[in-house]
Copies of this chain bind each other. A is one copy, B any other.
Amino acid sequence: MPATTETLTAERILAATEEVLRRHGPAKATVVDVARALGVSHGSVYRHFRTKAALREAVTKRWLDRTTEVLAAVAADTGLDPEDRVREWFATLFAAKRRKAGLDPELFATYTVLVGESGEVVNDHICDLTGQLTDIVRAGVASGAFTVDDPETTARALFQATGFFHDPGYAKEWERPGVQEEFEAVMDLLVKGLRG
Chain A residues packing against B (C-beta within 8 Å): 153-154, 156-158, 160-164, 169, 181-182, 185-186, 188-196
Contacts and interface: CB of A to CB of B under 8 A. Distances in A.
Contact of A161 (B181, B186, B194): B186
One complex includes copies of this chain to the number of: 2
A94 to B, nearest CB: 12
Nearest to A148: B189
B164 A186 contact: no
Contact of A193 (B160, B162, B164, B192): B192
B186 A192 contact: no
B164 A160 contact: yes
Cβ-closest 3 pairs across A and B: A193-B193, A189-B193, A157-B185
Contact of A185 (B156, B188, B194, B195): B156
Contact of A154 (B160, B169, B185, B196): B185
Nearest to A165: B160
Nearest to A150: B185
Given A164-B160, A164-B163, A192 B185 contact: no
Nearest to A186: B157
Contacts of A196: 192
10 contacts: A154-B185, A154-B189, A157-B182, A157-B189, A161-B162, A161-B164, A188-B193, A190-B190, A192-B195, A193-B193
Contacts of A189: 154, 157-158, 161, 190, 193-194
